[in-house]
Chains A and B, each alone.
Chain A
């Protein structure tokens, strides 16, 4: 295996690193994220190649971690319009799709919702058969109104066949990409539906970003295989990522947590990643991010991924300060910080301007902006309180914890924070995301319900099938087959059934194809 280039596209900055075959960081750079993200990626690649002195031909792998999809959801920007087909009638009518969604997010994806007959019972019986004509009629109503379609069937993790049947009809009728829920999430109809709708909404978002990335690599003669970071800290191949863009959603924080551990050599701490738009706080336990035990909210809606347990707060270098310094964010100028921030000649007061004004930070070639001390002090207090409260919420106990500070917005963090025993800023701290992106292994995960006859051989066969499916998914995501190992296999019960169902969750991890 040769050198790796790791790139992290944040809302504000695009970071790039080159790692050698021993995963040592040779060079790291930071460039502004651009409206067309491909330009910023290209600029970061050029800069890091030049700084490292590594020839394009020596790069064998290129990994892109991006919060682009996350930001698109949080900021309700650049999302595709989604048609939603729920297969569940006559059941499920008490809570229709998009119930509980924030109004602005509903508006962004449109409310193209149709409830159709379909679904399975927990014991594998058909709840209602699919009505092909009703599916076509629903498509006719959505024609021209949607950019992608989400198909969600009751108990599809037991049996995907109805979802696949409907997906084929939709593809024929509408010619738009289709996300089927059984491949996206696990049991819990609303959470899986939400995740599937988001996945569909992000398909064109990620395609645009990937096109820029691939073009940037090719134009520079880098023949590396492109990978995307996914939310568990592992990687997936480009084509897989385009089908499952929602899996990129937690990769920003995961990558910074893994990168922070790698750079600092510390395995138990809080990782506070301050970017331009948000601060993400994760918990590092034994070198890996703590996983969330609960359904995870993304952009205000519940989904059912296994995600890193991360608290995301609207505070970053580009966070807008209003009301005489008494209101901090939560919105941000994002990648426009370098043109719109006061210190950079713009006319928006940002958190970076405050850090400069109170003398907590310096940026070469940039003077502290003119901000009255009343405003600066109020805002600085607000920033500190917000950080301290957020850190406190993630601490495992009341005892002070070490904090590894990473991310380009780190200059807005005060040196002393209540509840923090040590504030560490490792070398290359600004590019921890990109380092984490380049470390990753490749994973595949499945969660399926099996009907078993209750005998041990039956259960063994079900476990073997789930393990094999997880291996296949790891291979599809880009792992070298001979390196794939099943790292976890979990059996969960399906209660109140006739006792013959078992839910099996399997996860396989392998090395990148070298």
Chain B
């Protein structure tokens, strides 16, 4: 990617962000329209590599919090973005010099780009998850022992809630309670830190990665060759070091709301080379657990993405439909999530799955040996 994000880059980043969203994080479509519009009105956004940050920088992660079903219906007020940046400046007495995505998955990849365009700030090429997760403390800052700091919530009316939660779990609890009152969605800033901390904690290059994923799935290989539809998913797996776990048809689907989360499971019947096998996907906003014929194929914090079998386009947990033909891929997560602290924060246990974490590579090795 050039050192600037232009409106022409947005659609590819959005597709990549939907893949890294592993079915959650919200549809990037609304955010991408907003980012494109604000870039059109205010000019391209400078992309700042994580290692370019200086100690004097004050980096502000901006994102949306709330239900995807709210964010696609009650679209945010443009004023929320500037109001959030002003609120954090008032709360900590530092002027933001850059914004960054808190998560690169789903709609939250787009909001910082939009905010950066509007505020005339650069956006950091990195995020604090390397994917999407459903809870506010599931960030690399937390893994490194940093608290959320001053936390800002702003809604469409201009209501501001500034809190100083004692840790990530409290940040999540307080935010969630406020967001219900704010109609199920708000703009949020937390983990705003100086450049030194962000250099230590951010997973670098993830916006560029999202753009590359989008580019491959839209038919352009890393070397610039044109890819046919049926070549794209394999090319993507090659590029990411990811694994094609299963090709199948959605044969059963359960979905329900439980404690503010979309929980459910999809059963798949194998097609093509996977005919005769079954696959089960468990999700809580994001896809978190994948089992082939009862055996674990991939589990959080590794990434499980569901792609349309024919087009390679990512499918969200809200969009999974009976009869859909899909490919499931597994992407190894950043090593920080594979530490004891990482697994305690976002491993299977945390989400209530009574399984041990196994790296997605292990299943892939078994598969080859079969």
Q: Which residues of A contact B (CB under 8 A)?
A: 88, 90-96, 99-100, 119, 121-123, 125, 127, 154-155, 187-190, 285, 290-291, 293-295, 302, 392-399, 491-499, 501-503
Determine if A496 and B30 form an interchain contact, defined as CB atoms under 8 angstroms apart: no
Chain A: which residue is nearest B156 at the CB level?
A: A91
- Give the residues in chain A near B72, CB-CB below 8 Å: 187-190
List, sorted by A's number, 6 A–B pairs whose CB atoms are closer than 8 Å.
Answer: A90-B157, A92-B156, A94-B76, A187-B69, A397-B309, A496-B67
Interface-facing stretch out of B141-149, B189-197, B252-260, B340-348 = B252-260
The one of B69, B81, B179, B325 that contacts A494, using a Cβ cutoff of 8 Å: B69
Bound state CA distance, A291 and B324, in angstroms? Answer: 9
Bound state CA distance, A285 and B321, in angstroms? Answer: 15
Determine if B78 and A495 form an interchain contact, defined as CB atoms under 8 angstroms apart: no
The one of B75, B81, B114, B320 that contacts A189, using a Cβ cutoff of 8 Å: B75
Top 4 closest pairs, chain A to chain B, by CB: A496-B67, A493-B257, A91-B156, A121-B183
- Give the residues in chain A near B34, CB-CB below 8 Å: 94-95
Bound state CA distance, A492 and B264, in angstroms? Answer: 11
Instruction: Name the distance in Å between A502's Cβ and chain B's nearest Cβ.
Output: 7
Determine if A122 and B183 form an interchain contact, defined as CB atoms under 8 angstroms apart: yes
Determine if A494 and B77 form an interchain contact, defined as CB atoms under 8 angstroms apart: no
Determine if A93 and B183 form an interchain contact, defined as CB atoms under 8 angstroms apart: no
Given A95-B30, A495-B260, A495-B285, A291 and B184 touching (CB < 8 A)?
no
Given A397-B309, A496-B67, A499-B259, A154 and B37 touching (CB < 8 A)?
no
Determine if B310 and A395 form an interchain contact, defined as CB atoms under 8 angstroms apart: yes
Determine if B74 and A495 form an interchain contact, defined as CB atoms under 8 angstroms apart: no
Instruction: Name the distance in Å between B248's Cβ and chain A's nearest Cβ.
Output: 11
Q: Which residues of B contact A (CB under 8 A)?
A: 29-30, 33-34, 36-37, 66-70, 72-81, 114, 156-158, 176, 179-180, 183-185, 228-230, 247, 255-262, 271-272, 285, 308-311, 313, 315, 318-321, 323-325
Bound state CA distance, A294 and B326, in angstroms? Answer: 13
Determine if B325 and A396 form an interchain contact, defined as CB atoms under 8 angstroms apart: yes
- Give the residues in chain A near B81, CB-CB below 8 Å: 94
Determine if A91 and B74 form an interchain contact, defined as CB atoms under 8 angstroms apart: yes
- Give the residues in chain A near B36, CB-CB below 8 Å: 100
Bound state CA distance, A154 and B184, in angstroms? Answer: 13
Bound state CA distance, A501 and B75, in angstroms? Answer: 19
Chain B: which residue is nearest A302 at the CB level?
A: B29
Determine if A492 and B311 form an interchain contact, defined as CB atoms under 8 angstroms apart: no
- Give the residues in chain B near A496, CB-CB below 8 Å: 66-67, 69-70, 176, 179-180, 184-185, 260-261
Determine if A497 and B257 form an interchain contact, defined as CB atoms under 8 angstroms apart: yes
Chain B: which residue is nearest A502 at the CB level?
A: B257
Bound state CA distance, A94 and B156, in angstroms? Answer: 10
Determine if A493 and B255 form an interchain contact, defined as CB atoms under 8 angstroms apart: yes
Which of A119, A122, A291, A499 has the most chain B CB atoms closer than 10 A to its own CB? Answer: A122
The one of A95, A96, A123 that contacts B184, using a Cβ cutoff of 8 Å: A123
Chain B: which residue is nearest A394 at the CB level?
A: B310
The one of B29, B74, B229, B321 that contacts A155, using a Cβ cutoff of 8 Å: B74
Bound state CA distance, A155 and B255, in angstroms? Answer: 21
Chain A: which residue is nearest B180 at the CB level?
A: A498
Bound state CA distance, A122 and B156, in angstroms? Answer: 14
Bound state CA distance, A100 and B74, in angstroms? Answer: 18
Bound state CA distance, A122 and B155, in angstroms? Answer: 14
Determine if A495 and B261 form an interchain contact, defined as CB atoms under 8 angstroms apart: yes
The one of A90, A122, A503 that contacts B70, using a Cβ cutoff of 8 Å: A122
- Give the residues in chain B near A155, CB-CB below 8 Å: 73-74
Determine if A95 and B37 form an interchain contact, defined as CB atoms under 8 angstroms apart: yes
- Give the residues in chain B near A493, CB-CB below 8 Å: 69, 255-257, 262
Determine if A393 and B156 form an interchain contact, defined as CB atoms under 8 angstroms apart: no
- Give the residues in chain A near B272, CB-CB below 8 Å: 397-399
- Give the residues in chain B near A492, CB-CB below 8 Å: 255, 318
Determine if A90 and B74 form an interchain contact, defined as CB atoms under 8 angstroms apart: no
